Structure 1
Amino acid sequence: MREQNLQYVLDWIAIQELAVEYGQAIDYGQDTGDWSRWSNVFTPEVTADYTRFMGTELLTLTREQMPQVAKAGLRSFKRVQHATAMSVGIQFKSDTQAEVMSYAEVAHYFPLGGIQQEWTIIARYTFSVEKTPGGWKIRKVLLDPIHYRGNMLGLELVQGKQLV
């Protein structure tokens, strides 16, 4: 068990902010085309486990490659909004490593026949994070879907279906 001192509290806050930044940086990248903010949440090498969500294989990528994963999954959506819970569970493994569990409700918006559609996923993110010279960063991400609502075509779009 890690000693609960001022550094513990500062690390706890930084990790909570990192979990929120993961989602907000995706939204920012989708809105602006600038994905550098999202790349910055990761360690130089990242394990991305979206197998339960997208049906893809486990990926090991560089942080610079991670935006390609997001762009591919979001290409059909005009806007995305990650509402990440601030009740982030953190279990410190050491002074420089922790496991993090965070819940998010992510709304995806897309037009269909001139009518705005919404598809939302309720998900649990599990992050393995490590403290680097640049602050806390995500080394591994697991996205575990809990519930979907709205137009289920959204799930098919994430998984690669394209509208003609």
Structure 2
Amino acid sequence: MKGQDLQYVLDWIAVQELVAEYGQAIDFGKDTGDWSRWVNCFTPKLVADYTRLFGGEPITLAREEMGKLGSDALAPYTRVQHATANTVRTHFKNATEAQVMAYADVGHFFSLNGVPQEWTLVIRYTHDVEKTSEGWKIRKVLLDPIHHRGNLLGAEFVRGKRLV
């Protein structure tokens, strides 16, 4: 794609919006229990690679399953906040495929014996996206943790530990 043509600019803006929506929709899902915005970020089938945080193998699933995945992963937290950097980089492979890298600080908030706690994870997301009849959608997401700070119990929560 040429950097000067109008379609490139329109696609670039749409991809930027998709990456911002990814994080905002997770926060909205956690706050409201309505994960439809997040689910709508994906192609009908996708690969979710959260192995660098959780271990295991990447999973292939239907986008409708992503709502439960997000809800279950964030169950121990009272709130989450994705602050996606505006230094999103997009590499268009062709007119309908691109790879996008974006950094985010993701605050995970919880209470321990009535005391507010925070665990923040600095992440690099790599999204393989494609242009569909519904617009640009994520077909593969890779979460790469860079750094974390705060109460490390938050890290244990994301790996499945629960308080008794």
Q: C-alpha distance in 2, partners of 1:30/1:46? A: 21
Once the two structures are TM-superposed, the CA of residue 55 in structure 1 deviates from its matched residue by 1.7
Q: C-alpha distance in 2, partners of 1:51/1:69? A: 14
Is 1:42 the counterpart of 2:53 in the alignment?
A: no
Partner amino acid, structure 2, of 1:67 = G
Q: C-alpha distance in 1, partners of 2:16/2:131? A: 13
Counterpart for residue 6 of structure 1: 6
Matches within 5 A, 1:9-158: 9-158=9-158
Aligned pair in 2 of structure 1 residues 38, 83: CA closer, same or farther (>3 Å)? same
Quick check: 49-58 or 112-121, which moved more?
Answer: 49-58
Q: C-alpha distance in 1, partners of 2:153/2:140? A: 28
Partner amino acid, structure 2, of 1:49 = D
Cα deviation per residue 1:124-145 (whole Å; 9 max; x = unaligned)?
A: 0000000001110000000000
Q: C-alpha distance in 1, partners of 2:103/2:95? A: 24
Provide the TM-score with structure 1 as the length reference: 0.98
Once the two structures are TM-superposed, the CA of residue 86 in structure 1 deviates from its matched residue by 1.4
Once the two structures are TM-superposed, the CA of residue 31 in structure 1 deviates from its matched residue by 0.2
Q: Aligned residues: percent identity?
A: 62
Q: C-alpha distance in 1, partners of 2:151/2:56? A: 22
Cα deviation per residue 1:11-65 (whole Å; 9 max; x = unaligned)?
A: 0011011001000000000000000000000000010000001123211010000
Partner amino acid, structure 2, of 1:129 = V
Question: Does the Cα contact within 8 Å between 1:108 and 1:154 map onto a contact in 2?
Answer: yes
Tell me, which stretches of 5 or more residues in structure 2 are unaligned? none
Q: C-alpha distance in 1, partners of 2:56/2:12? A: 32
Q: Secondary structure at the match of 2:95?
A: coil
Q: Secondary structure at the match of 1:64?
A: helix
Once the two structures are TM-superposed, the CA of residue 106 in structure 1 deviates from its matched residue by 0.2
Q: What is the RMSD of the two structures over their aligned residues, measured on CA atoms?
A: 0.7
Which structure 1 residue ranges, 4+ long, deviate > 4 Å from structure 2?
A: none
Partner amino acid, structure 1, of 2:2 = E
Partner amino acid, structure 1, of 2:121 = I
